[in-house]
Amino acid sequence: MYGKMMFNPPLSQKPMTSFEVDVEWNDLQFHPTENRHKRGGVYVSYTMGMKNGPGGYFGVQMGGTYGGFIFSIWDGDRTYRLSNGKKQVKKSTKLVCPMDLRNCKRNCQDCGLPSLRDIAKRGFTTGTKCITKYPMKVGDRYTVKLSKAVPRKQIHTSQFGGFRKVHEEVLGEKNRFIKGSVWQVSVTIKKGATPGKIIPVGTIMFESDEIGFNRFGTFDEMIGCNKCNAIYHKDTRYGPIVSTEGRYKRRPVHMEAWTRYNESTCKKYQISGSKRDCSLFFESGPLTKGVTKSRIKLW
């Protein structure tokens, strides 16, 4: 399930340099016979990207036995496609480096692909991933924030994650100096085990001259391979509020949503929302009553 927000002025004219949204877990239930071990979960995600730079996503994950926050970014130009459509890797000129080595590390994103599987085992990386665990439950509400921590900085990659030898062996790629901006994701607990607590999720440097993000979207994704009736969930997002360099604070003026109804055997999806409180509801699973079949304008 997907959502798209339109802003005035649009992000193509005024790129986003800060973001804030509230995420609330309304319900999460596991089928008593089809999913007795409470496998899988849900990922509430926001995607973003720079015009000439890296991109990725961040958000909230909740399952039957775990919960946490994620900030995951791909190197901006790490892959290309051959004429047959297969992905290949190359040297990147738009790297992302973990500045927070406690929660973040260089990671092999999408390395389950056949062309990347072998070099992934040798330590090849295509981006940076930050994860912070948190004891979540239904009814919790979190304020998720993305912000620019440092407008401009230079580092040497060897001091922040760096490359393993496989990068040089496969691509002739070595650790080097890079310049760019530093971004951080944090979460404030509004309702939950520790109300008021601010949790740092991660800090990542983007190798780019761009001041902010011109692409932005959201989706709900089931975690793991689950049958249609295995999990029921509902979550609500309030916002977001975005700004450019501390100014031009704005909320979405329109909200669109869609599902892959015609591409999936599962048909129990519903998306709704309210302009009054700038909300977006995602719901799926066996208890879902309504259905969203196509692209719709929510408000």
62-73 pLDDT, tens digit each: 998 889 999 999
- Range of 8-12, 50-54, 81-85, 278-282 with top mean pLDDT: 278-282
- Residue 285 · residue 231 · CB < 8 Å: yes
**pLDDT at position 248:** 77
Phi, psi of 137 (to 5 degrees): -150, 160
Closest CA to 42 of 72, 68, 78, 76: 68
Closest CA to 209 of 79, 73, 93: 93
Closest CA to 3 of 260, 280, 239, 233: 280
Whether the per-residue pLDDT at 255 is higher than 90: the answer is yes
Strand (E) or helix (H) holding 2? strand 2-6
**pLDDT at position 85:** 80
pTM of the model: 0.94
**pLDDT at position 101:** 96
Q: d(Cα 42, Cα 38) in Å, to the nearest integer?
A: 12
Q: In the predicted model, what is the mean pLDDT of residues 263-292?
A: 94
pLDDT tens-place string over residues 204-213: 999 999 999 9
Whether the per-residue pLDDT at 104 is higher than 80: the answer is yes
Q: In the predicted model, what is the mean pLDDT of residues 182-198?
A: 97
**pLDDT at position 115:** 77
